[in-house]
A = this chain, B = another copy of it.
Amino acid sequence: MAGDVFGRALRLISFGESHGKVVGAVLEGVPAGLPLSEGDIQWLLDLRRPGQSSVTTTRREEDRVKILSGVFKGKTTGAPIAMVVENEDVISSYYEEYFHRPRPGHADYVARLKYGGFNDYRGGGRFSGRITVSMVMGGAVAMKLLKLIGVEVMAYTLEIGGVKAENFTLEDVRARYRNEVRTPDGEAALKMREVIERARRKGDSVGGIVEVLALNLPPGLGEPIFDTIEGDLAKAMFAIPAVKGVEFGSGFKAARMMGSEHNDPYIIRNGKVSFASNNHGGALGGMTTGAPLVMRVAFKPTASIAKPQRTVDLRTMEEVTIRVKGRHDPCIVPRAVPVVEAMTSLVLADHAILSGYIPKVLEGAPDGGKGEDKGGHPEDL
């Protein structure tokens, strides 16, 4: 059982390689009746696209999405939605070397072991960050589904190279894409940029933390014991290259708190049950509570760096030094932000369908939808 299928009620299938013809996705289980155009997907792809600013790789990809199926008269049909993006600016010549001299921090060596060397190693193949294009395509549709029930999913850069976003409001979060590092704290944004530029100049790279905020979630999303909302989200995050850690609410800080301090008291607010604090990060018992979902995702520094590095030559079994060529992001975090949003949205929309919050046929059907058809049921044969 290979691992290219994700989700249950809403399933994303990823295909394609970094230097192959396309990167593609099939999204299955999308309710019928959702207005959907290529533009609904393109905007999020554009946010992920390389070559947009000085903090990203210089690889240039138009990343134009084409919808191949599942949409009719501008709306989803209930059938699977296939989407592809063509690969254009491909320079594969570098990669022959890395097949024998694996790049530190990359999957080269273990991919070769697992697939017997048959894997498409050009540009990292299936293990390239470029594969996140398939996540973004699926996630953009998931986001549209979530909007139907008022859920808002926002990821943003919380920290890069030790610089932390500290002063910001919800409005700043909503404006996160205004700066190229996608952080809600404008002052921190400048410093983060500097840190990234410095790393680039040294032929090095930096990591960071992405925080996710999901607002207005219905309570009860998540299926205990094993398909918890945190578990499904964490699994989704680790599908994104370079992720090293995931935490919710208080996260690792919880380990140093007292129970009396950590437990969020129930209170009445505006006549409704609410919480006085949000150490739980919006999830208890594996289910959303209705409080804002707060997740943080740690990214390691980009593995591809210009500096010389130690590795081995698998032909001679000697230790050697390589310089990783190619065009790379000195910090992957800004471009990871829309990817984190996409994967988060896929998980939440999947659970919202599973829990019945999003119906299988949306409103506005030509017939008014199932059950309202004038034809009725042929029950009396």
Which residue of chain B has the shortest Cβ distance to A223 in the bound complex? B3
Partner of A256 from the list B1, B20, B75, B161 (CB cut-off 8 Å) is B161
In angstroms, Cα B314 to Cα A291, docked, is 17
A262 touches B301 (CB 8 A): yes
A327 at the interface (CB under 8 A from B): no
In angstroms, Cα B24 to Cα A79, docked, is 12
In angstroms, Cα B226 to Cα A80, docked, is 13
Residues of the B chain whose Cβ atoms lie less than 8 Å from the Cβ of A111: 285, 287
Q: Of A37-45, A54-62, A178-186, A202-210, which binds chain B?
A: A202-210
Which residue of chain B has the shortest Cβ distance to A292 in the bound complex? B381
Residues of the B chain whose Cβ atoms lie less than 8 Å from the Cβ of A266: 102, 104, 109, 310-312, 319
A270 at the interface (CB under 8 A from B): yes
Residues of the B chain whose Cβ atoms lie less than 8 Å from the Cβ of A355: 114, 360
Given contacts A3-B224, A69-B24, contact A280 B216 (CB under 8 A): no
A338 at the interface (CB under 8 A from B): no
Partner of A125 from the list B77, B125, B126 (CB cut-off 8 Å) is B77
In angstroms, Cα B250 to Cα A112, docked, is 24
B284 touches A107 (CB 8 A): yes
Chain A 121-157 per-residue mask, 1 if CB under 8 angstroms from chain B, else 0: 0100111000100100000000000000000000000
